[in-house]
Amino acid sequence: MLKPLLLEEEKVFKDPVHRYVHVRDQYIWDLINSAEFQRLRRIKQLGTSFFTFHGGEHSRFNHSLGVYELMRRILDTFEGRIHLTYEEKLLCLCAALLHDVGHGPFSHSFEKVFRYHHEDWTRAILLGDTQINRILRRIDEDFPKKLAEVIAKTYDNKLIVSLISSQLDADRMDYLLRDAYYTGVNYGNFEIERILRVMRPQEDGIVFKFSGMHAVEDYIMSRYQMYWQVYFHPVTRSGEVVLRKIFQRAKVLFEQGYAFHQEPLMLLPFLQDKVELADYLALDESVILFYMQMWRKEKDPILKDLCARFLDRNLYKYVEFNSRDFHLLPELKELFEKAGIDPAYYLEVDTTSDLPYDFYRAGDEEERIPIMLQMPSGDLVELSTKSEIVQAISGKRRFDYKLYFPMDKVMALPGDLSQKIRERLGVMENVGASRQDYSPD
C-alpha cells in the first residue's frame, strides 16, 4: 500500500486563471522541478496565435500547472462520493501535470513536416531515461507504465481516463479558460466553479447533475466559439503555413546537400530522421527562432524569404476556398511557376474542421463518450436530448478551406501576369491578413 509523501509545507503558484495552484505532494513538486517539465516554459501553448492575439504567449508549463490544479479540485469534490486510493489520486494528478510533456516547439507545424506525434514523445519521456521517469519510479516501479496508459487512454480505470480525456475534462476546461484569458477574448468563459460542483463520479466516468446543465451548455458553446474565433483564426493559420514551409524548405535543402551558412546542428537529427529522446528534449522554441534568425541571412532565396516573413510577421494572405474549388489549383500552380513564384512554398490550401459536440459519430475516441446528465430520479440521459442548444450544434462537422499565398509577390509581378493570377484567385479588394490588419476580427 502506497503511503502519501507530503511536503512539510504546502507550496503555491500564483495563477491568473485559477488564482492559486496548490502543491502538497513531494512527487508533484519534484516533477514540476524536473528538467523535462521546466522545458515546457519554452514552448508556447498556442503556437502562432500570438500573431493574431498578442497576449496569447502563455506556455505549456502554464497550462500544465492549470490542468493539475483543476484535477486537484475535481478530486476534492469527489471526497465522500467515491473511494480512490492515494495511488489512484496520484495517477490523476500526474496525468494532469504531464499530459502535454511530449509537446515540441510549434507542435502542429513541426509534427506535420517531420512526421512524428507528440503522444509518442510523452510516452518516451515517461518511460525513458529522464528525470521524470526516475521520480515516477520512486512512487512505484510500475507507476510510469500505468501513467503512460492513462495518458494514452488505454488504462482500465475509465473514470481516471475520462478526467483527463473526454468531452469535458480537466485539460479542455483549463485550456479554454486560459486561452480566453491570455488572448483577451470574451467568448471562452464559462462557470468552472459551477461545473465542478455538479460533477459526479461514477465507476466508468463522470456525469453532471441536471441542475448544472446550463453551465455545461455554456462550456460547449465557449468551446465552439474558441475553435472558430481563436484556434482556427485565418491569420494564425497563415503563420502556421509559413512555418511549415520553412521546415519543408530546410528539409529539401538538406536533402539536396545544400551547404548551410549556419549548419543547423540541433535540427540535424530531425533532418536525418534519426531522432533520439535527448535530441528531442533539447529542442524548444528558442532553438527554432535562433535558426530562423540565422537563415534569414542564407543564400537560398526561398528559405531566407520565409524566415524573414515569419520573424517580421509578413504573412500570407488568404482567400476563401471551397471543396469545389480544387480543380482550379493546377492552373494556378502553373501561373505561379510561370511567374517564378514556387507554388510548393507559396501556394497552399489549409483545411480545418471541428465537431463542437457529438456523442456517436466522431473520429476521436473521447468524442464518442457522451456527456451524461443525472436527472433528479437518478436516471442518466445524454446531454443533447435535454439541451436544445447542444442539439442544434451536435454532429455537425464544419469544414473551412482557405487558400494562402504571398500577395506582395503577386502584386510585384508585371501587370498582365499579376492581373491574371489575381483574377484566378478571385482576389477582391478585401483579402485577409493584410499587414496593417492586427485586428482579430
Q: Which three cell numbers stand for residue 117?
A: 506525434
State the DSSP H helix or E strand holding residue 181, giving kind and residue range, or none if neither.
helix 170-183
206 beta partners: 201
Q: 46 or 242: whose CB is closer to Zn ion? A: 46
Binding segment for Zn ion (CB under 5 A), chosen from 98-106, 143-151, 197-205, 334-342, is: 98-106
Q: 97 or 315: whose CB is closer to Zn ion? A: 97
* Nearest of 103, 86, 91, 71 to residue 148 by alpha carbon: 91
Q: 67 or 283: whose CB is closer to Zn ion? A: 67
CB of 63 vs Zn ion, minimal distance in Å? 6
Q: 46 or 372: whose CB is closer to Zn ion? A: 46
Phi–psi pair at 277, nearest 5 degrees? -55, -40
- How far is residue 16 from each of residues 27, 223, 314, measured CA to CA in Å? 24, 20, 32
- Binders of Zn ion among 242-261, rule CB under 5 A? none
Binding segment for Zn ion (CB under 5 A), chosen from 95-103, 214-222, 329-337, 358-366, is: 95-103
CB of 118 vs Zn ion, minimal distance in Å? 10
State the DSSP H helix or E strand holding residue 200, giving kind and residue range, or none if neither.
strand 199-202
- Binders of Zn ion among 7-46, rule CB under 5 A? none
Q: Does 171 bind Zn ion (CB under 5 A)?
A: yes
Q: 69 or 171: whose CB is closer to Zn ion? A: 171
CB of 235 vs Zn ion, minimal distance in Å? 23
Binding segment for Zn ion (CB under 5 A), chosen from 11-19, 165-173, 237-245, 261-269, is: 165-173
Q: 100 or 179: whose CB is closer to Zn ion? A: 100
Can you tell me the distance from the alpha carbon of 171 to that of 194, in angstroms, rounded to the nearest whole number? 17
CB of 175 vs Zn ion, minimal distance in Å? 6
8 Å CB contact between 394 and 359: yes
CB of 174 vs Zn ion, minimal distance in Å? 7
8 Å CB contact between 137 and 131: no
Phi–psi pair at 155, nearest 5 degrees? -65, 145
* Nearest of 220, 214, 222 to residue 194 by alpha carbon: 214
Binding segment for Zn ion (CB under 5 A), chosen from 122-130, 169-177, 259-267, 429-437, is: 169-177
In three-state secondary structure terms, 199 is strand
CB of 64 vs Zn ion, minimal distance in Å? 7
CB of 190 vs Zn ion, minimal distance in Å? 17
Q: Does 149 bind Zn ion (CB under 5 A)?
A: no
CB of 199 vs Zn ion, minimal distance in Å? 19
Q: 125 or 292: whose CB is closer to Zn ion? A: 125
Binding segment for Zn ion (CB under 5 A), chosen from 22-30, 93-101, 285-293, 305-313, is: 93-101
- Binders of Zn ion among 100-139, rule CB under 5 A? 100
Q: Which three cell numbers stand for residue 57?
A: 504567449
CB of 188 vs Zn ion, minimal distance in Å? 15
CB of 259 vs Zn ion, minimal distance in Å? 40
In three-state secondary structure terms, 433 is coil
| Secondary structure (H, E, C), 341-356 | CCHHHHCEEEEEEECC
Can you tell me the distance from the alpha carbon of 438 to that of 417, in angstroms, rounded to the nearest whole number? 29
Q: Which three cell numbers stand for residue 391?
A: 442539439
Q: 64 or 387: whose CB is closer to Zn ion? A: 64
Q: 171 or 305: whose CB is closer to Zn ion? A: 171
- Binders of Zn ion among 286-345, rule CB under 5 A? none
> Which residues, including other chains, have CB under 8 Å from residue 90's CB and lie 6 or more apart?
2, 25, 27, 139, 143
| DSSP annotation of 17 | T
- Indicate the burial class of 83 (C-beta count within 10 angstroms; 0-12, 13-18, 19 or more): exposed
CB of 433 vs Zn ion, minimal distance in Å? 27
Can you tell me the distance from the alpha carbon of 226 to that of 377, in angstroms, rounded to the nearest whole number? 34
- Binders of Zn ion among 176-215, rule CB under 5 A? none
Can you tell me the distance from the alpha carbon of 244 to that of 223, in angstroms, rounded to the nearest whole number? 26
CB of 383 vs Zn ion, minimal distance in Å? 23
Q: 172 or 402: whose CB is closer to Zn ion? A: 172
19 beta partners: 15
8 Å CB contact between 179 and 46: yes
Please calculate the CA angle 377-378-381 and round it to the nearest 5 degrees.
100
Binding segment for Zn ion (CB under 5 A), chosen from 168-176, 181-189, 273-281, 393-401, is: 168-176
Q: 149 or 171: whose CB is closer to Zn ion? A: 171
Q: 171 or 217: whose CB is closer to Zn ion? A: 171
**Which amino acid makes up residue 276?**
E
Binding segment for Zn ion (CB under 5 A), chosen from 170-178, 270-278, 297-305, 384-392, is: 170-178
Site size toward Zn ion, by CB under 5 A: 2
Radius of gyration (C-alpha) of the chain in whole angstroms: 24
Q: Which residues bind Zn ion (CB under 5 A)?
A: 100, 171
